[in-house]
Amino acid sequence: DAGVIQSPRHEVTEMGQEVTLRCKPISGHNSLFWYRQTMMRGLELLIYFNNNVPIDDSGMPEDRFSAKMPNASFSTLKIQPSEPRDSAVYFCASSLKGGSHTGELFFGEGSRLTVL
Amino acid sequence: AQSVAQPEDQVNVAEGNPLTVKCTYSVSGNPYLFWYVQYPNRGLQFLLKYITGDNLVKGSYGFEAEFNKSQTSFHLKKPSALVSDSALYFCAVRDGGTGGFKTIFGAGTRLFVKA
């Protein structure tokens, strides 16, 4: 299995530009998570999907952030407009949601975003 | 709401000595507990989990964790540390009682193993 695939691995952009991060979950997994990691705030859950439906987006910092999952094999996290404080490593993770919801998360390698 | 606390920012241990990385949690329902490890510039990797059953859970790379319901703790342990165990370790919790899938992570503990 190829694992969770994220792109781009690194992104450097200027303040005000739109940023789109992409994620391909593990085939057969039906839950997908977006996390943000910074030194100051640690690992924050932004949003998660079950069967392509957003379940909890309470961690999305503000309206500049949006996430979509148009099908079971693809998700995007978009920031528009971007700001320097959005600089972080963004992780996508997927999991198999069974009857007892006990599945561990499988993480991608992350997308390191730098907003100048 | 669920929460996780990792009281130590850093743990230092000599190679060959036992190691413990501490974690306490808070959930309203049944706790599903996890440990993950992160190496530099990599994503998190699953180590082990507790869902139900035996309080001592064994996982990857010789790691184990002990679930203690009365102390709401889930400490990670290894009998003999290796230099290659040096990494960032995260404890995570999911509230099994709600039936949801929200997984919350602790702040992380950096483990340094000296040769």
pLDDT in tens, B58-92: 999 999 999 999 999 999 999 999 999 999 999 99
Smallest Cα distance from B92 to chain A, Å: 10
Closest chain A residue to B37, measured at CA: A107
pLDDT in tens, B91-107: 999 876 655 678 899 99
Q: Please give the full DSSP string across B20-65, using - where no structure is assigned.
A: EE--EEE-SS-EEEEEEEE-TTS-EEEEEEE-SS-SEEE-GGG-EE
B91 and B106 in contact (C-beta within 8 Å)?
yes
Mean per-residue pLDDT over chain A, rounded: 92
Average pLDDT over residues A14-30: 95
**CA neighbours within 13 Å on the CB side: how many for A17?**
13
Cβ of residue B90 closer than 8 Å to a chain A Cβ: yes
Closest chain A residue to B42, measured at CA: A109
Distances (CA, A) of A49 to A95, B60, B92, B103: 10, 28, 18, 12
Nearest to A91 among B32, B43, B108 (CB): B43
The confidence score (pLDDT) of residue A99 equals: 55
